[in-house]
Structure 1
Amino acid sequence: MRHLFGCALQHQAHHHLLVIEKLIQKQCEPLPRRRSFAKSVSSKVKFLHPFLVSLWKPISNKTVNWNGFNCKSFECLNGRKLNRDCFHCFDLVNGYENQRFVKSKSKNDFLVDDVLQLGNGGIIIGFDIGIGSGSFAAVMSERNVTVITSTLNVNGPFNEFIAARGLFSVYLSLDHRFPFVQSSIPLSNSKK
C-alpha cells in the first residue's frame, strides 16, 4: 500500500498495475481507482474493427499495456494455459473460443440458444463473472443481448482484450458491490 500511495497523483500508473492487481486478489478492497491514470491507446493508430466484426477478429497487440506481464503479445499468451478455461483463449480465429457456448463439449453444457429460449425473448441484458476473453458476451451480442463482463487481469490482459473486442468490461473483483439493482439482471454466467 505504501508503494501505491507513494505515487504522484493524476499521473500514468503503468508500473503500479501489478501492485494494484495483487492487492485486489488479496481482498484489499476498495482501492482508490482514480488515484492515477492507466496508459491509454494512441488515437492515431487505426487497429480497432467496427462492432460485430470486432467480436471474432484478432486483436492488435497495440491495444494492451504489457507492463507487468511475462508475455508481450497475444501469440505468446496463446501457447500458455492461463487458467482452467483459458488455453488459446486469445486466439479468436483458430481456437475454440468461437465455438464456446454454441457447441457442447459434454452433456452438462448449457448452450446459449437453449438458455435464451427459456427466457422467451425477454433477456436483453446479462452479467458474466470470471476470468475469460469475453466469448460469452460476444456470443450473446450476436443474439442482441448486452452482457457486462467482470474480470481481472490475472496472468493476462483479459480486461483490455474484452474492451478491444467492443464488449463492455468492468474491472471489479467479487468483493465489490456490482452496480445493479436487485433482480434487474435476468441472466448471469459465472466461472470458478
Structure 2
Amino acid sequence: MGYTMGLNLLLLVAMVATNILSLYHLSSTLQSKPPLPPPVPDHLLHQLTTIRATINHLTRLHPPPSSTPKQPSTIPSDLLLYTHISTIASACHNYPDLLHKYMNYTPLKSCPLDSDVAESLMLRGCHPLPRRRCFVKTVSKIPNSLPVSPFGGLQDNAVLWNVYKCKSFGCLSPFLGFDMKREKDQLMGYKTDLDLPIQQLLQVAKSHGVVLRLGLDIGGGTGTFAAHMKLHNVTIVTTTMNLGAPYNEAVALRGLVPLHVPLQQRLPVFDGVLDLVRCGHAVNRWIPVAAMEFLLFDVDRVLRGGGFLWLDHFFSKAADLEKVFTPLIGKLGYKKVKWAVGNKMDSSGVKNGEVYLTALLQKPVSK
C-alpha cells in the first residue's frame, strides 16, 4: 500500500510540473511578437481599393434586403430617374470608347482636333468633360481687325475649318444664322402674335419697372439675340453647341460671349442674378419632359425676382402643349405677360400637328 501511495504522489507531482511548464510556454508565446508580414505591393493595394470602392458603390445602389418592411419612397420616381440621366458627369463611364478616344492624347503636346468627340460626350451627359494637359490648336494668324458692329461680316481666317464639311462661312446655309445681313432683321419685325420684337420687349420691361442689364440666351445659335441687346447696352451670354458648324466661333467673332454647354447642364450662373432668360428654338418638344422640368427650374434659380422668362417659338404637338407643357410651365407660378399659340405650318409641323408657343413670363418678386 505504501508503494501505491508513493506512485500516486509521483504522478501528482509530474502532472503539476507538466501544467506549470505548459502555462509558462503559453505565457511566453503570447508575450512574443509575431513576425511582420511581407509588404503588400502597390498594385495590389490599388486593386483592393478599387474592389472596395466598387462594392461600396454597388451596395449603395442595391442595398441588402432588410427584415423590416420597406417604406414607400417619398421622392418622385421621375426625379430619381433624372439623377441617373445627367448628374455630375457620371454618364462618362457609360461611354468608355468615346471617353478613351477623347483622353487618347499626348500630354504637353498639341490636342487632337476632336471637338466632335467632345460634343458627343457632352450630349450624352458627360459634362463637364475631364480636363486634359495639352495645347488646343488655334488659328496661325490673328485677324488684324474685327467688326465693330455685332452684325459685321464673319472672317473665315479666324476659324479652324478642319473639323467641318464647309470651309468658309459662305458655304453655310444663311438660315443657320451665319448671314449677318439676314440676322440684322431677325427679332425686329412683327408679323404674327408669335413675334416679340426687341423694341416691344424693352417697352414691356419698362412698363413693369424692370431694368434689363444681364441675361442668358439658351440655345442661341450664333448669338443674334445677344447682338441686338448689346446695341441697347444689355449684356446677354449665349449657350450654344458646334453641331456641324462653328457656332461658338461665330458668337465670339461678333464680340459676344459663348458658353459651350448642353441643355442638360446646370446653368453656370449664380442664383438670382439675371434679369432675362430666353429659350430659343433649341428648347422644344424633343427634350424629355423630366429634363424640361429641370431646365425650367434651373432658369427660375438664376432669375431674380421680377425677371422675365421668354419662350420664343417653342414647338410641340398641340395635344402635348395642352396636357403636358402648359401644366409644366404653370408649376413655376409666373405671371403671363404674353401667351400666344399658332400653328407650325412647315411640312413637319403639319404632319405632326405641331404648334408654336411664344410666352413672356414674369417671375414673382417673392414666393
TM-score range with shorter-chain normalisation?
0.7 to 0.9
2-structure distance, mates of 1:141, 1:131: 14
Aligned length, in residue pairs: 180
The TM-score, its normalising length taken from structure 2, stands at 0.46
Q: Distance in 2 between matches of 1:92 and 1:157?
A: 14
| 1:23 partner SS | helix
1:171 to 2:260 alignment: yes
Whether the 8 Å contact between 2:166 and 2:172 is mirrored in structure 1 is yes
Which residue type is aligned with residue 102 of structure 1? M
The residue type paired with residue 177 of structure 2 is C
- The answer to whether 1:74 aligns with 2:199 is no
Secondary structure of the residue aligned to 1:119 is: helix
Deviation at 1:74, TM superposition (A): 0.7
User: Following TM superposition, by how much is the alpha carbon of 1:176 offset from its aligned partner in structure 2, in angstroms?
Assistant: 2.3
Q: How does 1:1-192 map to 2 (within 5 A)?
A: 1-42=99-140, 44-50=142-148, 53=149, 55-78=150-173, 87=175, 89-93=177-181, 95=182, 97-120=183-206, 122-191=211-280, 192=283
Deviation at 1:14, TM superposition (A): 4.7
Percent of aligned pairs sharing the same letter: 33
Asked whether the equivalents of residues 29 and 175 of structure 1 are also in contact (C-alpha less than 8 Å), the reply is no
TM-score, normalised on structure 1?
0.84
**For the Cα contact (< 8 Å) 1:131–1:154, is it kept in 2?**
no
Q: Secondary structure at the match of 1:156?
A: coil
Deviation track 1:10-69 (CA, whole Å, cap 9, x = no partner) reads 43335221111111122222212554343223454314223xx2x111111111111221
Taking the aligned partners of 1:157 and 1:33, their CA distance within structure 2 comes to 22
Distance 1:64 1:183 in 2: 35
Distance 1:138 1:77 in 2: 20
Letter in 2 for 1:89: G
Inter-CA distance 185–33: structure 2 relative to 1 (3 Å threshold)? farther
In the alignment, is the contact (CA less than 8 A) between 1:131 and 1:152 conserved in 2? no
Higher relative contact order structure (alpha carbons within 8 Å, sequence separation ≥ 6) = 1
Q: 1:145 to 1:38 in 2, by over 3 A?
A: same
Q: For 2:135 and 2:197, how far apart are their aligned partners in 1? A: 39
**C-alpha distance in structure 1 between counterparts of 2:216 and 2:131, whole Å:** 22
Please identify runs of 4+ aligned residues in structure 1 that moved more than 4 A. Answer: none
Unaligned 5+ residue runs, structure 1?
A: 80-86
* Corresponding residue for residue 84 of structure 1: none
**Paired residue for 2:316?**
none
8 A contact 1:47–1:60 mirrored in 2: no
Which structure features the higher share of helix residues? 2
Q: Deviations over 1:45-98 (max 9, x none)?
A: 314223xx2x1111111111112211111111136xxxxxxx1521102x2x11
Residues 25 and 44 (structure 1 numbering): CA distance in 2 closer, same or farther, change over 3 Å?
Answer: closer
CA contact (8 A) 1:14 1:65 kept: no
Structure 1 pair 117–28 and aligned structure 2 pair: CA distance change class (3 A) = same
Inter-CA distance 173–11: structure 2 relative to 1 (3 Å threshold): farther
